[in-house]
Chain A
Amino acid sequence: MSVPQQDHAPRETMNPLLEVTGLRKYFPVRGGFLVKRHVADVRAVDGIDFTIAEGESLGLVGESGCGKSTTGRLVTRLLEPSAGRIAYRGRDITHSTRKELAPIRSEIQMIFQDPYASLNPRQTVGHIVSAPLEINGINPPGGREKRVRELLETVGLNPEHYNRFPHEFSGGQRQRIGVARALALEPKLIVADEPVSALDVSIQAQVVNLLQRLQRELGIAFLFIAHDLAVVRHFSQRVAVMYLGRIVEVGERRDIYERPRHPYTHALLSASPEPDPDDRNATERIRLAGDVPSPVSPPSGCRFRTRCWKAQDRCAAEEPPLVRLEGNREGHLSACHFPEEPTTAARGEDIVLDPALAALEETTADKTL
């Protein structure tokens, strides 16, 4: 592709705002009769490393249940990590108490998927957006109300609507209220968990453009969580791909979308439907079999091996480390023993693992011969 993409400074010259190492979150599964015993763990996040630089947007993609939201909630410290380390501006906040967190609480904010559920229906918009200021005892020059009106304007809402209630707004407008609330404390990092997934397509673009403007103009860093690869590509300078609690590949946008190495990244990209009838023939077709295995007992070695067309004995025995493979650019890390060629172009032959598809396509292929 000849489209120029924005490049940014090499990673070493940027200060990591957030640094996450070996992060884990296990949720206990309890079972047994009368006395509930701890019988197993949901390994929602199972040892992940990543950094986010100031003003940078890191996209986090992966299928349902792979641990994206859990990661977001660990970073904002809504959840207590089971292991690992989270450092914000070099300061360890992994197990900080509420009180210790207070000075930086305002700097890390969260935007949720569901604009309906995340707003209190009985509070006015003005009240909702000014609440973070009140809670933190912040009195901006000119007063809180003036600040809230400015914030409403920033997110494209009419400041006159200060006294309205959430139900008087559409889905897209409610998401804007959530964004205004997150901006109230002038955050440095926003964790946005599927911020546009619940919105209609024509409204999605309004909110994506708004977030993009904020990122550029206010220099806010984002951990942008979404399952839609095209939305993430549009919004994030770097992207991390998760599978069953692990990061399997991470890199700059063009590394992940144009030169992916991990088979799962290839499969995900291939499965993302493009609104273009010509795309089917231009890009590779990979059809996996079955669903993602349970995070309670993930496969040994490489977690993707039960659905991978390249899996060999070594994949079951040894977990592949997340490293810069030969041929990868700086900062592009992949966790695979037998990586793919760095291209998404159509292959001579499709990869079809699904048994039903394979059977049906073999019979139709026979007929056409």
Chain B
Amino acid sequence: MSILTKTEAGPPGPGDPAPSGPFLSVRDLYVQFATEDGVVKAVDGLSFDLERGRTLGIVGESGSGKSVTNLAVLGLHNPRNTTIRGEIVLDGQELTGASERTLERLRGRKMAMIFQDSLTALSPYYTVGRQIAEPYMKHMGASRKAARERAIEMLARVGIPQPRLRVDDFPHQFSGGMRQRAMIAMALVCDPALVIADEPTTALDVTVQAQILDLLKDLQRETGTAIVIITHDLGVVANTADDVMVMYAGRCVERGTVREILKSPEHPYSWGLLASIPRLSAPVDLPLSPIPGAPPSLLNPPSGCPFHPRCAFAEEVGGGRCATVRPGIPEDERRGFACHLGRERKREIFTGQIQPRLGGGAR
């Protein structure tokens, strides 16, 4: 055991060279699936950037297109029923339309993925050590012996006790938290520059979740990896992300720094999310304010602003524009939101109705 003095999360290390343009850049991405019921517009014109050493949190309710977006970045969609349009540029290299061989080489070496469900991501038939060593041999050309040593080193780094013994265990011999750690070890074994974590702690207990999230943060501080963390939990975002993108119906409805999104959100859907969750620091005698209705089907998404059927402020926008005109979001600005509501009115609503619900600072 050790007791540590607090360290502040710093900006990306000064050692990193600043390449021109963002490390990951997604522009006007569309992902559609052909299904029996029709075409699912899972991602509908999405743009975002991510710099090295930073963490982007993608939040939104289930079905908002978070996973589909990131599977597109990794090139893991089945081309037979999936149509992908738009630009995905990783470190200057265009990924949309790249060959399967190129993507295969990038996955594991330059970009890696951490999934929610460690049992499906890890094969039950191979030892944990072998599964960590495999990509290291394949991508780094390491010998079997060197790769095994590397696997042990990785297990130690992610906090598996007695790594030299546990390296020969099978996944089922690990607890849920240990498997998630093993999966992180596997993802990080080749020092990828981009890690995509899709609900990495949703299946875990809160005390274990806190350990794993801090571990990811600490490893990032050490390696300068860029991280995309996908979650439906705004608390997880508050604890891990530098920047946040809020998704609704396959689109980005708002983006900004974590502080901007959580403390001064500008989009009615973000307001709704923030006001509907109970907090440890909010008054208990105030009822929660839910968002009415339910998220839309992406087979037939609403016209105009996809949030309009649930939005309390759509009436305030003149000419029924919310139902007919799709609100844009400035593509190349760091801060942005897609809503027709006027600036003045928005400020009024936020300070009058929303801010009082966001709880105050300390518990």
Q: A: which residues have CB within 8 A of B? A: 1, 3-6, 63-64, 170-173, 200-206, 208-209, 212, 227-231, 233-234, 253, 257-258, 267-283, 285, 287-292, 309, 344-345, 348-365, 368
Contact B177 A276 (CB under 8 A): no
Kindly specify which of B18-26, B232-240, B322-330 makes contact with the partner chain.
B232-240
**Please, which residues of chain B bring their CB within 8 A of the CB of A6?**
284-285
**Please, which residues of chain B bring their CB within 8 A of the CB of A353?**
1
Kindly specify which of B68-76, B120-128, B136-144, B213-221 makes contact with the partner chain.
B213-221
B273 at the interface (CB under 8 A from A): yes
Contact A277 B238 (CB under 8 A): yes
Set A227, A283, A361: member contacting B7, Cβ < 8 A: A361
How many residues of B are counted as interface, with CB atoms below 8 angstroms from the partner's CB atoms? 71
Contact B239 A3 (CB under 8 A): no
**Please, which residues of chain B bring their CB within 8 A of the CB of A267?**
207
Give complex CA distance A292, B10 in Å: 32
Give complex CA distance A63, B273 in Å: 25
Q: Give min CB distance, A287 to chain B, whole Å.
A: 5
Known interface pairs A203-B290, A203-B294; 9 further A-B residue pairs with C-beta atoms within 8 A, sorted by A's residue number: A64-B205, A229-B206, A274-B281, A290-B161, A348-B5, A349-B3, A358-B2, A360-B215, A361-B218
- Can you list 26 A-B contacts (CB < 8 A)? A4-B283, A5-B284, A170-B294, A200-B295, A201-B234, A202-B276, A204-B276, A205-B276, A209-B287, A230-B279, A253-B284, A269-B280, A270-B210, A273-B209, A280-B239, A349-B5, A352-B3, A352-B4, A354-B159, A357-B214, A358-B2, A358-B4, A360-B157, A364-B7, A364-B222, A368-B10
B195 at the interface (CB under 8 A from A): no
Contact A273 B238 (CB under 8 A): yes
B178 at the interface (CB under 8 A from A): yes
B176 at the interface (CB under 8 A from A): yes
**Please, which residues of chain B bring their CB within 8 A of the CB of A363?**
222
Give complex CA distance A63, B4 in Å: 26
B96 at the interface (CB under 8 A from A): no
B363 at the interface (CB under 8 A from A): yes
Give complex CA distance A142, B227 in Å: 61
Q: Give min CB distance, B237 to chain A, whole Å.
A: 7
B98 at the interface (CB under 8 A from A): no
**Please, which residues of chain A bring their CB within 8 A of the CB of B290?**
202-206, 209
Q: Give min CB distance, A239 to chain B, whole Å.
A: 12
Contact A350 B177 (CB under 8 A): no
Q: B: which residues have CB within 8 A of A? A: 1-7, 10, 61-62, 156-159, 161, 175-178, 181, 205-211, 213-215, 218-219, 221-222, 232-239, 258-259, 262-263, 272-274, 276-281, 283-285, 287-292, 294-295, 358-359, 361-363
**Please, which residues of chain B bring their CB within 8 A of the CB of A206?**
290, 292
Contact B238 A1 (CB under 8 A): no
Contact A276 B222 (CB under 8 A): no
Q: Give min CB distance, A303 to chain B, whole Å.
A: 14
Cβ-closest chain B residue relative to A64:
B205
**Please, which residues of chain A bring their CB within 8 A of the CB of B279?**
230, 274-276
**Please, which residues of chain B bring their CB within 8 A of the CB of A233?**
278, 280, 284
**Please, which residues of chain A bring their CB within 8 A of the CB of B359?**
276
Given contacts A291-B205, A352-B4, contact A271 B288 (CB under 8 A): no
Give complex CA distance A124, B322 in Å: 36
Which 8 residue pairs of A and B lie closest in terms of their CB atoms, listed nearest first?
A: A356-B159, A273-B235, A205-B290, A275-B234, A282-B362, A271-B210, A202-B291, A205-B276
Contact B222 A345 (CB under 8 A): no
Contact B215 A282 (CB under 8 A): no
Cβ-closest chain A residue relative to B294:
A170
Give complex CA distance A280, B287 in Å: 25
Cβ-closest chain A residue relative to B222:
A360
Given contacts A200-B61, A230-B278, A292-B205, contact A273 B233 (CB under 8 A): yes
**Please, which residues of chain A bring their CB within 8 A of the CB of B263?**
276-277
Given contacts A202-B61, A209-B288, contact A230 B1 (CB under 8 A): no
Most buried by B among A209, A229, A230, A362: A230
**Please, which residues of chain A bring their CB within 8 A of the CB of B285?**
3-6
